[in-house]
Amino acid sequence: MISRLFPVFAGKNERELAKIRPIVGRIHRHEEALQGEPEEALRELTQKWQRELSFYQPFELPSRRQVKEGDEESRRRLAASLQERFDALRAEFPSLPRRVEATPESLEQARLGWHRMEDGLDAARARYLERILPEAYAVVKNAARKMVGHQATVCGQTMTWEMVHFDVQLMGGIAIHRGLIAEMQTGEGKTLVATLPVYLNALTGLGVHVVTVNDYLARRDAEWMGELFRFLGLTVGCLQNSQQPADRQQQYACDITYGTNAEFGFDYLRDHGIARSRAEQVQRGHYFAIIDEIDSILIDEARTPLIITMPGHDASEPFVRHQPAVARLVRRQVELCNGFATEAKRLLEAGEKSAAGVALLKLKLGQPRHRQFLRMMEQPELRRLVDKTELSYQRGGFGKTLVQLKEELYFSIHEKDRDADLSEMGRCFLSPQDPEAFTVPELDAAAGEDERQLFAARAVDVHTISQLLKAYCLHERDIHYVVREGKVTIIDESTGREMSGRRWSDGLHQAVEAKEKVAIERENRTCATITIQNYFRLYQKLAGMTGTAETEAAEFHDIYQLDVLPIPTHRPNIRVDENDCIYRTRAEKYQAVVDRIAKVHITGQPVLVGTASVEASETLSRLLKRAKIPHAVLNAKNHAQEAAIVTKAGERGAVTVSTNMAGRGTDIKLAPGVAELGGLFVIGTERNPSRRVDRQLRGRCSRQGDPGYARFFLSLEDDLMRHHAAPNRMAGMIEDSAARARTLTGASLGKLIEAAQQQVEQHGYKIRKRVLDFDDVMNLQRSIVYEHRNEVIHARDVREMVQEILREGTAVTLRRYLAELDPEQPDLTSLRQWAAGWGVEELPEDLVQLPELLEASYQRRVEGLSAERFEPIERDVVLRAIDHHWQNHLDDMEDLREGVFLRSQGQKDPLVEYKNEAYTLFSGLMDAIQEASARSLSRLVSSVAPVAG
């Protein structure tokens, strides 16, 4: 199947490249012509294109009322600038009016003409860019040529410019402009590739965003490539985590802005969810985002949405209340489990394997992180024994169910599902008088208020205890978190980095705080959130580059409509990929790795070792120390330092140990003489669940035609092998070859492992897709509310905006009154009172006219007030109404989401349920916002201009 599909894809890529190649020829011809020109010629061309492209920019027209009431002078200015635009665009849009006069009528004609063609502007701009592309790329390349030898300081280091775009770089640049992902190997110079589409698109004045994986790279690239852009007369900005809003605004105002995805995403959320005026908003639109290391950002980082929170209500009480009892309970369980451990050992020595298996299983359910248990689980045969025992319980093999077995413990923990359950024994221990106190009662539709309250209270208790148990039994201090200055900070397991500011959700963080007896912080309340996927979907144009995208091509296509185009390398790649070596145990594997490093190191050839976690890096570092091999360890704590170490990884005799993701984006250049030794030797100590990450590691060597080697060392005890590959089959293969050698290599094993990786990749994709399916519902709602909110902030004519809000909001209230009227005996008293509050004493004959009357009364009352002072207050009142209801709505949506999963035991698809109920909630929300806005405005005007009389 795969082999049959492959040529089709290969053909498609070839066809795409064939379309691009002739353009490269045209760029060359333009560039040759530019070689004889002075620098100034490049800047003049840039300015000419900028001017012509500015005509395609959106035009903010004043409202009709403002035109009418404005003075002669402003009408003249408006007419002149419209005339200029129309003349420039008439070739593309022949229907635009020929003459714009400074009269309200002519300006109205012009407005209509402009609106009619507005939708065509994006396409026209795109045609313009396509037309100038070859010459514009030639300008960039020629600028690079003219800059050769130029010196600049980049992140504190002096650099000399010596890059002129290669042909493959021109091709990559064209692919990116066309909205593709350019797949270019590590070291091919993607940073320079991006300068081409960045320059071309920055000419539009709409702002090009270049997205990097960390702050350090944003600064490095902005400073280094900035030299080229400034040479051409463009402005370059760079977002850094520490910047204040005013500073950020300046960065966004530039033609080009570099920054991380989190900086861009959070700025969007702050602009649309929190800012209260135009002055507080920092972004100015989403035209084109070019994402470097696009797989890392759109796939690896896309699992967790961006969230802005504020402290919610205090929910510490149940944790404080239950903590002492749970601590006692855990101690009891530990004693019980110590017994199981001793028993298991005795039984094993006595050769009673099956009984030992039961004792071990109880240990696993009772204390999955029990020291002795973890140590025993390092022996593969014992691990198999536990797995087998668990399986036969699930199949009822012991005449007992797993549930019955769990009743022999105080509570049971499911490490994989992250679940903890009290048993009957545990409940009796916690509450001897009333063991039922910790069960959640059944609740049916007929339940009364008392029953509901009892249900809610018990649900909180059960949840709290479960979280406390997890805090005690699954989360270890200094492994999963650290406690410093009275705060619990999570440690990222794969990088070892402290993730300050992040909190475990769902009360787990509070439980750990209760366990550590530090102050329990409030559960945060979400006030704005978006997934990375939906943030990048905001852009009119999206593209990117990376060394590794092909394995995830399907996901890029389905979710972002991005296609991947592999670009050939500048020089042929001569890396030698050796077959994987597989060992039975981790210990044997590490020994083999150290032996290999020692052998390579003696020759002076540099070695780069990739590991899957900080822990593995440290283990390896210990072994290397023992073998007296000097080495550097990267622990992913500081990107700038990291870059400094990685840069040296290509020097003679260097041994560098690094987690897989560390140092990404930093180039490893070979020092003189190293190529003759064979180049960089890359060693992988574990296959990552994703093939992409493995390719990323391999790609660290053999840049731009350098020699290089890559080899992976694996063991059957690696997580990937244990969970996903067919370890038994491999073990068999190893046994077979044991007579011959201690290791096993070979292509067939490689296939087995790839299949396992594919399985994990697909699983990951499903999870990301699911997160997105749910967020899509929110996304639609968010875009409607944010758009409305933004209209309020940006409304040029506050009077018109207020008019609309008042009419719609009062209409909602009116409908509610009418619906409550008794048709037999309509009593209009309360309706009358309401209208009187607005200053309307007489109800109209036809009630439909009432909103208009209320609105007119409002406008009369504000007439005498200073618009300059009053209008910002009106705007603010409306924004508050929106925010209040939207944030409550976010809470409701979160509850709904949890709710549909609880209910999903049945046959119903939670997503469908979620969509239906979300729709109902949302239509209520929009009404509530309108009504509340009108009500707040009414209160406001009553306080400053009470109804006369």
Question: What does the binding site for ligand ADP look like in residue numbers (CB under 6 A)?
Answer: 162-166, 169, 184, 186-192, 667
931: closest CA among 814, 769, 770, 763?
A: 814
Q: Answer yes or no: are the C-beta atoms of 85 and 55 closer than 8 Å.
A: yes
Residues 796 and 60: beta-carbon distance below 8 Å: yes
The contacts of residue 823 (CB under 8 Å, 6+ apart) are none
Residue 122, annotated as binding a ligand = no
**Which CB atom, from 159 or from 336, has the smaller least distance to Mg ion?**
159
Task: Assess 189 for contact with Mg ion (CB under 5 A).
Answer: no
With a CB cutoff of 8 Å and minimum separation 6, the contacts of 479 are 491
Looking at beta carbons only, is 222 or 581 nearer to ligand ADP? Answer: 222
Minimum CB–partner distance for residue 269 and ligand ADP (Å)? 29
C-beta of 605 vs 702, nearer to ligand ADP: 702
Q: Is 547 near Mg ion (CB under 5 A)?
A: no
Q: Which is nearer to Mg ion, 286 or 698 (CB)?
A: 698
Residue in this structure with the two tokens 């003249």, named with its chain if needed: 76
Minimum gap (Å) between residue 186 Cβ and ligand ADP:
4
Provide the residue type at 639 as one letter. H
Say how far apart CA 507 and CA 527 lie, in whole Å.
18
Judged by beta carbon distances under 5 to 8 A according to partner kind, the member of Mg ion, ligand ADP, none in contact with residue 102 is none
Torsion of CA 251, 252, 256, 259, to 10 degrees: 70
Return all residues near 851 (Cβ < 8 A) that are at least 6 apart.
806, 807, 808, 810, 811, 814
Q: How far apart are CA 364 and CA 366, in angstroms?
A: 5
Stretch that binds Mg ion, among 184-192, 468-476, 629-637, 877-885 (CB under 5 A): 184-192
DSSP-based three-state secondary structure for 685: coil
For 547-583, strand residue ranges (E) read 564-566, 576-577, 581-583
* Minimum CB distance to ligand ADP, residue 137 (Å): 13
Shortest distance, position 159 Cβ to ligand ADP, whole Å: 9
Considering only the stretches 183-191, 629-637, 805-813, 869-877, report the one whose residues sit in contact with Mg ion under the rule CB under 5 A: 183-191
Q: Which residues within the stretch 852-891 sit at the binding site for Mg ion (CB under 5 A)? A: none
Which is closer to ligand ADP, CB of 166 or CB of 590? 166
Quote the CA–CA distance of 607 and 709 in Å, as a whole number.
9
Query: Measured at the alpha carbon of residue 215, what is the angle toward residues 790 and 694, in degrees to the nearest 5?
Result: 110
Residue 189 known to bind ligand = yes
259 vs 273, which CB is nearer to Mg ion?
Answer: 259
Provide, rounded to whole angstroms, the least separation between the CB of residue 174 and ligand ADP: 16
Residue nearest to ligand ADP according to CB distances in the complex:
189
CB of 165 or CB of 190, closer to Mg ion: 190
Gap between the Cα atoms of 377 and 585, Å rounded: 12
The dihedral built from the CA positions of residue 73, 75, 76 and 82, taken in this order, carries a sign that is positive
Q: Which two tokens stand for residue 102?
A: 């400074």
| Binding partner selected for residue 664 from ligand ADP, Mg ion, none, CB under the kind-specific 5 to 8 Å limit | none
Longest dimension (CA), the chain: 106
Euclidean distance between CA atoms 10 and 566, whole angstroms: 10
Name which of ligand ADP, Mg ion, none residue 189 binds, using a CB cut-off of 5 to 8 Å depending on partner kind. Answer: ligand ADP
Helix (H, G, I), strand (E, B) or coil at 166: coil
Among Mg ion, ligand ADP, none, residue 600 binds (CB under 5-8 Å by kind): none
- Is 191 among the annotated ligand-binding positions? yes
Query: Known binder of ligand: residue 188?
Result: yes
Q: Which does 667 bind (CB under 5 to 8 A by kind): Mg ion, ligand ADP, none?
A: ligand ADP
**Token couple for 612:** 């899957």
Cα dihedral 552, 558, 560, 564 in deg (nearest 10): 40
Q: What single DSSP character describes residue 477?
A: B
Least distance in angstroms from the C-beta of 224 to ligand ADP: 9
Under rule CB under 5 A, residue 665 binds Mg ion? yes
Q: 188 touches which of Mg ion, ligand ADP, none (CB within 5 to 8 A by kind)?
A: ligand ADP
Q: In angstroms, what is the minimal distance from the CB of 191 to ligand ADP?
A: 3
CB of 290 to Mg ion, least distance (A): 12
Rounded Cα gap, residues 478 and 11, in angstroms? 53
| CB-count exposure of residue 854 (10 Å: 0-12, 13-18, 19+) | buried
The smaller minimum CB distance to Mg ion, of residues 249 and 666, is found at 666
For ligand ADP, the closer of residues 168 and 581 by Cβ is 168
Of 394, 550, 375, 369, the residue nearest 474 (C-alpha): 369
Which of Mg ion, ligand ADP, none does residue 587 bind to, with CB < 5 to 8 Å depending on kind?
A: none
Minimum distance from CB of 220 to ligand ADP (Å)?
9
Choose between 147 and 581: whose C-beta lies nearer to ligand ADP: 147
- Of the pair 148, 459, the CB lying nearest ligand ADP is at 148
Alpha-carbon dihedral sign for residues 465, 467, 473, 479: negative
Tell the smallest beta-carbon distance from residue 68 to ligand ADP (Å).
56
Residue 734: how many other CB atoms lie within 10 Å:
19
> Closest distance between Mg ion and the C-beta of residue 567, in Å?
14
**Residue 423 interaction partner, one of Mg ion, ligand ADP, none, beta carbon < 5-8 Å per kind:** none
Q: Residues 6 or more apart from 140 whose CB is under 8 A from it?
A: 165, 195, 196, 199, 200, 228, 232
Please say which residue, 225 or 772, places its beta carbon nearer to Mg ion.
225
Sheet strands (E) in 453-497:
481-484, 487-491
- The listed partner (Mg ion, ligand ADP, none) that binds 165, CB under 5 to 8 Å by sort, is ligand ADP
Our CB check for ligand ADP shows the closer of 136 and 812 to be 136
Least gap, CB of 225 to ligand ADP (angstroms): 9
From the list Mg ion, ligand ADP, none, partner contacted by residue 643 (C-beta under 5 to 8 A by kind): none
**357 annotated ligand-binding residue:** no
Of 185-193, 403-411, 480-488, 803-811, the window that binds Mg ion (rule: CB under 5 A) is: 185-193
Classified as helix, coil or strand, 629 is coil
Q: Which region, judged by CB under 5 A, interacts with Mg ion, from 125-133, 186-194, 469-477, 575-583?
A: 186-194
Piece of 8-16, 77-85, 189-197, 888-896 that binds Mg ion (CB under 5 A):
189-197
Least distance between ligand ADP and beta carbon 344 (Å): 51
In this structure, what token pair is assigned to residue 96?
Answer: 């635009």
Crossing angle of helices 121-147 and 167-177, rounded to 10°: 160
CB of 859 to ligand ADP, least distance (A): 60
Choose the one of ligand ADP, Mg ion, none that binds residue 184, judging by a C-beta under 5 to 8 angstroms depending on kind. Answer: ligand ADP
Size of the site for Mg ion (CB under 5 A): 2
Q: Which residue type sits at 423?
A: S
Chain centroid to CA 372: how far?
A: 39
164 binds, among Mg ion, ligand ADP, none (CB under 5 to 8 A by kind): ligand ADP
**C-alpha to C-alpha distance for 288 and 255, rounded to whole angstroms:** 11
The residue among 216 and 834 lying less far from ligand ADP, judged by its C-beta, is 216
Q: Which parts are annotated binding residues for ATP?
A: 169, 187-191, 667
Residues of this chain that interact with Mg ion (CB under 5 A) are: 190, 665
Residue ranges for the known binding site are: 169, 187-191, 667
